[in-house]
Amino acid sequence: MFETLFQRTAQTVTALAIASLLVGWGWVCFAHMPFFAAAVVFCIVSPLMLALVQPLLVGGGMAAGLVAGSVAVLIRSIVRRLQRAG
């Protein structure tokens, strides 16, 4: 249970962070540059930027997954104790 929740949460948070980063970068490029220049800059800089930022995003996703998994285990433990006592 812990591992599944940890993995799903980490993957979801990482995917959302990468998607929001790309959407923001696309808006910066296409809102402030001519179309052709923005397309070239977006295609060249996006892989480089993601290669530099991805370890931080994955670390944040893992931290969020760890917190979510720990909370799930704690809640399950509390519920079991209450069911045994009740």
Does the reported pTM lie above 0.75? no
The Cα-based distances of 34 to 24, 29, 45, 49 in angstroms read: 17, 9, 16, 21
| List of long-range contacts for 44-48, beta carbons under 8 Å, 24+ apart | 46/22
Per-residue pLDDT at 75:
92
Q: Cβ distance 22 to 57 under 8 Å?
A: no
For each of the chain's 86 residues, which pLDDT tens digit applies? 677 888 888 888 889 988 998 999 899 988 988 999 989 989 998 889 888 888 888 888 889 888 988 898 899 999 999 999 87
Q: How many CB atoms lie within 10 A of CB 49?
A: 14
Per-residue pLDDT at 80:
92
Q: Cβ distance 13 to 61 under 8 Å?
A: yes
